[in-house]
Structure 1
């Protein structure tokens, strides 16, 4: 078995993630930039032996970027699955980092995957994909760190189980900084105090 991505739990977040996965519930991770949300998802995907499809959301991200599109290949037009569709088909974990940065059509395409139907309608192909038991949708955002106009709509937010993240306590953060940077503990401690 490959080594798990390094992550130090600071509460019951690993157990909550596992329970959401077992019960097919979408997960929302809230917290400031750099507090460990992305590493946590990578750690949990490896722990659950699931492929991880990570998408960094931005203003130009469209629903087609997630679901897929037709491409020209050798004179033929072929369908190419996007990362969300790949995760649904393969039973992977799709992680949408900073989901509020994406265009509104992105959150709309997520809705049928986040309720009891757990389906992904692909309008361009006419397919309706049913999520496998191994599929999980995880999104993150930084409340208070983004533009006030860019908040998750309540109709979207209420579809997710939420886990609140913050920076770990200084003693844990010092160990993380030392391990990840290769610095001696004392220098790592100084950096943590400055932050």
Structure 2
């Protein structure tokens, strides 16, 4: 069995987990194999994957998979919660099922239902059709129940017995599926606050008690430097240092309790490490590539009420961007 090593970025402590080896004898081998994510060569583990590996190692080795422990990552938009879990699956070569629990999702969507099919003789016959979660549970998988606190009550109650010590999912047609030892359930959620996360709500206490909830904060200065160094090793520090400083200042304002500086639009990782670099490339021949990237790739995503604060921080932190041609 191939081992994969996970390292704590703080103290270099390591933990090893077995890589998933899909058997070609399983009924849905091809479909499951297609769900193994590609490894993102630019991904930087800021510590979450190591913690997930620690938990699975403890669950499997110390407690023989007898204790049901499921982790949900809680953080604001653009902190990389889903990407962490996807890349965890990619590294271990596990089939990955991301199942958003938005308000439109019903229990039959997750579990499945009886469908009518033509029998080839002019009549019909009924057959059971697996839902997305049921399909995932029938083999090795890493399941990500995304947007946990957007799920409706019927969905939450349907999951109760799967997530507790029973580890079973009862389907409407009577079949009972047990949670396999090589199937791991995770979740993600936005904070429940006055922020504009439409459709979210405080988790039902009985459902919340079935999860260990870990915060996923915005990355700090050192973490952003690691990301830029790996993803854009040729980008001059004159650009990356200013981008990072802007991100830190804006996200500090977003998290602040001071209503005089508090804003509703954070700078997500998508903006910091994707949109701005694209803008730098497009406007690399302009006199101020960073300002053009800011104007065309950052400000259009900002709430109207936050524009003044964004502009104030730009003038305070940058005022005038580097007159260099960015190297990406």
Instruction: State the TM-score bracket (shorter-chain normalisation).
Output: 0.7 to 0.9
Q: Contact 2:97 / 2:142 at 8 angstroms: preserved in 1?
A: yes
Correspondence for 1:20:
55
What residue number does 1:166 align with? Answer: 217
Whether 1:68 and 2:117 are equivalent positions in the alignment is: no
Match of 1:78 among 112, 120, 127: 127
Question: Where do 1:12-161 residues align within 5 Å?
Answer: 13-22=48-57, 23=59, 24=65, 25-74=69-118, 75-123=124-172, 125-143=173-191, 144=193, 145=195, 146=197, 150-161=201-212
The 8 Å contact of residues 54 and 96 in structure 1, kept in 2 or not, is answered as yes
Q: Deviations over 1:68-104 (max 9, x none)?
A: 1223344443222112111211121211111111211
Structure 2 residue ranges without an equivalent (≥5): 1-18, 20-36, 60-64, 119-123, 248-328
Q: Which moved more, 1:58-67 or 1:164-173?
A: 164-173
1:193 to 221, 234, 245: 245
* Distance change (3 Å), C-alpha of 1:182 and 1:59: farther
Distance in 1 of aligned mates of 2:212 and 2:126: 39
User: 1:9 and 1:193 mapped to 2: Cα distance?
Assistant: 21
State whether residues 175 and 185 of structure 1, in contact with CA within 8 Å, keep that contact through their aligned partners in structure 2: no
Distance 1:139 1:63 in 2: 17
**Per the alignment, do residues 179 and 16 of structure 1 end up closer, same or farther by CA in structure 2, a change over 3 Å counting?**
closer
Flag the structure with more relative contact order, 1 or 2, with Cα contacts below 8 A and sequence separation at least 6. Answer: 1
CA contact (8 A) 1:29 1:141 kept: yes
Higher strand content, 1 or 2: 1
The verdict on how the C-alpha distance between 1:40 and 1:127 changes in structure 2, with shifts beyond 3 A counting, is same
Which protein is bigger by CA-based radius of gyration? 2
What's the TM-score once normalised by structure 2's chain length?
0.52
CA positional deviation for 1:188: 4.5
In structure 2, do the counterparts of structure 1 residues 38 and 148 end up closer, same or farther at CA, with 3 Å as the change threshold? Answer: closer
Give the TM-score normalised by the residue count of structure 1: 0.84
User: What is aligned with 2:43?
Assistant: 7
User: What is the root-mean-square deviation of aligned Cα atoms in Å?
Assistant: 2.7
The 2-side partners of 1:59 and 1:183 are apart by 43
List alignment gaps of at least 5 residues for structure 1. Answer: none
- In structure 2, relative to structure 1, the CA distance for the partners of 1:77 and 1:95 (3 Å cut) is same
Output the CA distance in 1 between the equivalents of 2:51 and 2:92. Answer: 13
Q: How many residues align?
A: 193
Decide whether aligned partners of structure 1 residues 189 and 86 sit closer, same or farther in structure 2, where only a CA change above 3 A counts: farther
